[in-house]
Amino acid sequence: MSVLDLSIKELQEKLNNKDITVTEIVQAAYDRIKETDDDIQAFVTLNEEEALSQAKALDEEGIDENQFPLFGMPIGIKDNIVTKGLRTTCSSQILSNLNDPLYDATVMQKLNAAKAVNIGKLNMDEFAMGSSTENSSMKVTRNPWNTDFVPGGSSGGSAAAVAAGQVPFALGSDTGGSVRQPASYCGVVGMKLHMDVYLVSD
């Protein structure tokens, strides 16, 4: 059983009780990605070195009962959300050399303030134009429950990563169903909250 089979609440309780470290949680995410992503193809860019460095720093900082609820939680980010210092391509070859964006999107600033750990960028239909994640110019993402099927889109990488147990939650974007539809295809919970959209395992 992976620690990522636990809910975010359960992981936070284990962190509070010092039964587990942030580094162990983050490493479990990368272990699961290495185990499954050749088949699922959810991630287009990983942030492993930086994420493990951040995890170590959070472990040294420590958590208290009043700490942010997302403290130390690994999250995957849809690749149309700008992340400073980490390649953002919208799953398009046109932007494949955009290796060092100059700023973080507002939602990333909020996640960074909450001390969540960015695991990497997730595949999507190119420029969010599609509903199957077959239209990425990077790779074709598969449904973790049956790789003969699509995960939906355009946030298919986000839904597939959560369903495959690679991360406990992921960030997507949704204008006309781009989170809610892949969530339904992959059997996870998709929430549209104003402009911030999250996918979580049930």
Q: Is the pLDDT of residue 189 over 60?
A: yes
Question: What domain range is 47 assigned to?
Answer: 3-200
According to DSSP, residue 69 is labeled T
Q: Give the Cα separation of 164 and 13 in Å (integer).
A: 23
Q: Whole-angstrom Cα distance, residue 159 to residue 186? A: 6
- The reported pLDDT for the residue numbered 196 is 47
pLDDT on residue 138:
96
| Count of structural domains within the chain | 1
User: Band of the pLDDT at 48, cuts 50, 70, 90?
Assistant: very high
Q: Are 69 and 149 in contact (CB under 8 A)?
A: no
- Regarding pTM above 0.75, the answer is yes
- Is 18 annotated in the active site? no
Q: Is residue 78 among the annotated active site residues?
A: yes
> pLDDT digit string (tens) for 77-108?
999 999 999 999 999 999 988 777 889 999 99
190: pLDDT strictly greater than 70: yes
Catalytic member of 91, 173, 178, 201: 178
Question: Closest Cα partner for 26 from 75, 67, 64?
Answer: 75
Rounded mean pLDDT of the chain? 92
- CATH code of the domain in which 37 resides: 3.90.1300.10
Residue 200 confidence (pLDDT) above 80:
no
Annotated active-site residue in 92, 154, 155, 173: 154
